Structures are given as structure tokens and as C-alpha cells.
Amino acid sequence: MASIRSHRPFPTLGSTALLICATVFSAPVHASGHPKDVKGTRIIRTITNSGETAAPQDLTSTPISAFVPDGMGGFMTISGTGLANGTFTIPQVPKDEYWFRFGNSYVWTDEHKLDLDIFAYGRPDAVPATLSTILTFNVTGLTPFAASDILQWYATNVNSVYGYLGDFNPTNMPLAGDIAMVGTAQDWVDTGLLLVDATKGDEPSLTQLSSVSSGAETYSVLTGIFKPASLVQLDGLPTTLNGALTPVPQHEDVRIAWDRTPYATYQAQVNPTATPSFQRFVVHTPPWGTNKGFIAATADLVNFYPSSLATTSLDLGEAHYGNPFPHRWGQVYSINQNYSVSYIAPGATHPRPIQATLSTNSLKEPKRHHPMLQAIGPVISPMINGSDAFVSQSGLTASPSIAWSRPTQGEADAYSVAVLRIFAQGVSTRTTTVASLITEETSLTVPPGILQPGQSYIFRIRAIKAKDAEPSKAPFRLNTFPFATADALTAMVTVAP
């Protein structure tokens, strides 16, 4: 895959239409134009091996409202009505910019007709294992195994079934030089992966990505595939797969060329205390094609983890690999650079690292003179209530202002500000995301009700560059290829009691 796993952010809820309640403040609203109802839809467009289906999300229990600036630094709240047929209405919202609330997501917009539709992948009735469910592999035909080889499990038609077997610590993994998996057993309940049922159209596969050396570096390319003729995993019951990997002709080529020099500048822009934690170059293929963006996990064709997290350019030359999947899936070329920032919540003694990601996903194959390059940098000089956002603050207001300058690299189509509450659980530091604020502007005021008195928070400001992005009209489809993101993490701030 790649680094993003699919999920359904707002699952189907109850069945009866309901007026969503919210506090309404009696303050004058300073807005241009006559008020007008805000309307829209939420349709889940699910892609499976049998085609695409569309079903409305039941919105009867989803908080829906508008926060309209009152001209005095505050907001007036207008409640909305969500229906079981996936439609909603917020009555008489002034024709000016406002915060549109949908669950825990907030969108800064002046639109009065919103498209909240999203794409999902995989049959919706697929489930994970809840009991011990052993899948045993007796598979011959491996290219002589190396410790750095990857055995990847992937299944189409099932949402986000993807994983490297080695990451789950199965028993009897192949040893160096082995040409078969003999009794390699994995308990599916330990993986979090969904159960496969070939009678429902699922198409599982096991691939081997074999190691290739290039100087001091090693990368992996897809060399073999085993596609079971039938597999039905039942929760709590063991299953055995017998078969052989089929060699995949190495007819594809990609130049592993990556300009990492900008990361030397980006590190301090992410956060002055950020440390590099992860780098990856990957070629992958999505079974739904490339015109809908990143909506679930994908199958890897080439996988490269640099031996050091340096900020030097890399060019390993042409990598030869196989692609046994349909041509219509297409190919995506991705790079990732992660940074870690350590935080300790009030009352905790053990820190927690929070990850910031810089990611670029391109449909253009890298070339010698056009290497992969991060397409957008982090935002510059973030501020909270006019003070440096990289410096901790206490006594913060419940609706602070957050501002930043545009990235020095790339043009952002949108910004997403995640609000993470940070708290102590025993001696440990924990975080949970309480809201996401989407805007095209370089500043915002946090709407009321998100930040709670006496609680501590971190803001992750993500710059987003995506093809055909329309954040104020279609805010939940900001991952269309080609797209790139870059995060900045603020210091911890604490709201006044």
C-alpha cells in the first residue's frame, strides 16, 4: 500500500428524522445578502468487484449546524435537520462565510449547497475476526527468501485488507534461502484485517516482493503471486491454503530517483523539536483506478525504505518489477517523510510521539532529470492568538484564532486543522482527535464547543494540494490524484479553567 487505510468516517446511524439541537445565541449577525437555507447530501459511493453502488447515509443523529460570525468576535449557531435519506437542511443562513458543522468536521464556506459524498471501497458486510482464526500457508515457488523480502496479503472487494505478514509475527515464517512457506500460520484476530469470502466476490492474493541491492541500498520488487482459487474465512475456524507462487515477468521499470534535499528545510517548519522517523518510496496500484483518489489500501509493486533518513538526493537507477494486476488499475508513485514530535500531557510522566507526515502521490513516473519531489511544504510561522504556535501556552481562550503563512513550496488548495486533545491516562500520555477544521484561508477562529475549559490540545495544520479540489463545496474529497500533504504540529496549549 501505501500509507493510508480506508475508513468510513461517519457510519450509518439511527432511522428517524431528528432536529439536531444546538445552542442559539441572540446576537446580531453582520452578513451580506438575504439568508438562505443550506442544503446538501451525504451519499456513500461504494466500489466493489461487482461495480459501484450508492447509498445515503442516515443523518438523523449526526450533529449538523452553522456557526455564523456575529460581528463581535463570536458566533451565532443555527441548528440543522438531518434525514435518513442522506439529505440535510440548515434554515436561513446568511449569505456570507460561516462554519458548517458535520459531526466532528467543520468547513469554512459561503456555499449554500454542499456535496458531502465520499467514495468507499469493499463490500460493506465484511467483518474482522473476533475469535482466534488461524490461516495457515503451505505455499511453494518462492524466490529464495531474504530477510528483507516482503510477503504481502491483499484482497480486492474487501475494505482495507492489506498487510505485510512479517509485521504480524506469524509462526514459521520462511528463513533466508527458503523457497516455500511450510506451516506459516497467522491468527487473523491479531491483524485487524477483514475476513475473506471468495463466494462473495473477494479476490485474495499473496505476493512476494524480493530484495534487490543497489550500492548500499536495498529495495523490494514484486516477483511472484499466489491467488487462491477459493477461500472462505469463518470467525473462529482455522483455514489452510495450499498452492504455489507464480513467477511474475519483470516487464515494468521505474527509476528510483528521489530529491530529499528540501526535507532539511521542512524539518524545522514541521516543528522546531521534530525528528525524522520514517522515509518510504513506493509504487502501488489501486483496484478502483486512479480517478477517485486514495480511498483504501493498495497493492505494492515496488517498496523502498532508505537505509538512512538523510536529506540527500537518491538515484538508484532503473528498478525492474512485475505487475500481475489489471492494467486498468493504474499505478501511483508515492514518497513519504514522517517526523516525530514528543509530548507529555499534564499529569503524565511518559511522553507520546505524535507523527507529522509529508506525502506526495503522483501519476507521473519519476525520471533521471525529474525525480520524485515533495509537492507541497508545511505552513510557515503558525500563530495562536498572535503568539508563536511552537511555544506552549496556558490560559488559552475557548475560541482562539490560528493563523499561518502559505508554504514556500507548492500552492495549497486547502488546509485541514486537526484538534487533538492530549491527556494523561495513568502515567501515559494519550491523544484523541476531537475535531477537524477545513478551510481555504490562512487563518481561522475555532468555533465554540470544541475546546473545553482546563483541557490541553495540539493542533496539526495540514496543507493539502489535490487535483480538482473544491474544499468549500465538496470538503470530503480532498485526496484525488495527484495529491500531496504536509503537516505542522503546534506546541501543547491549555485552555483556561
For 150-159, how does the pLDDT look when each residue is reduced to its tens digit (9 = 90+)?
Answer: 999 999 999 8
How does residue 33 score in pLDDT terms, banded at 50, 70 and 90?
A: low
Q: Look up cell 434554515; give the residue.
A: 91
- Between 20-34, 36-50, 91-105, 352-366, the lowest mean confidence (pLDDT) is in 20-34
Distance, CA of 66 to CA of 150 (rounded, Å)? 49
Residue intervals of the chain classified under CATH 2.60.40.10 are 254-495
Q: Are the C-beta atoms of 414 and 439 separated by less than 8 Å?
A: yes
Q: How confident is the model over 266-270, as a mean pLDDT?
A: 98
**pLDDT at 284 > cutoff 80:** yes
What is residue 73's predicted lDDT score, i.e. its pLDDT?
A: 86
Amino acid at 471: P
Q: How confident is the model over 417-425, as a mean pLDDT?
A: 98
Q: Look up cell 445578502; give the residue.
A: 33
For 369-381, how does the pLDDT look when each residue is reduced to its tens digit (9 = 90+)?
Answer: 999 999 999 999 9
Residues of the chain with pLDDT > 90, as a percent, come to 91
For 202-214, how does the pLDDT look when each residue is reduced to its tens digit (9 = 90+)?
Answer: 999 999 999 999 9
For 172-225, how does the pLDDT look when each residue is reduced to its tens digit (9 = 90+)?
Answer: 999 999 999 999 999 999 998 999 999 999 999 999 999 999 999 999 999 999
Q: How confident is the model over 319-340, as a mean pLDDT?
A: 97
**pLDDT at 11 > cutoff 60:** no
Q: How confident is the model over 384-401, as a mean pLDDT?
A: 97
**pLDDT at 102 > cutoff 90:** yes
* CATH class of the 254-495 domain in this structure: mainly beta
What is residue 62's predicted lDDT score, i.e. its pLDDT?
A: 98
CATH number of 134-248: 2.60.40
**pLDDT at 13 > cutoff 70:** no
**pLDDT at 17 > cutoff 50:** no
pTM of the model: 0.90
For 237-247, how does the pLDDT look when each residue is reduced to its tens digit (9 = 90+)?
Answer: 999 999 999 99
- Please state, rounded to an integer, the average pLDDT across all residues of the chain: 92
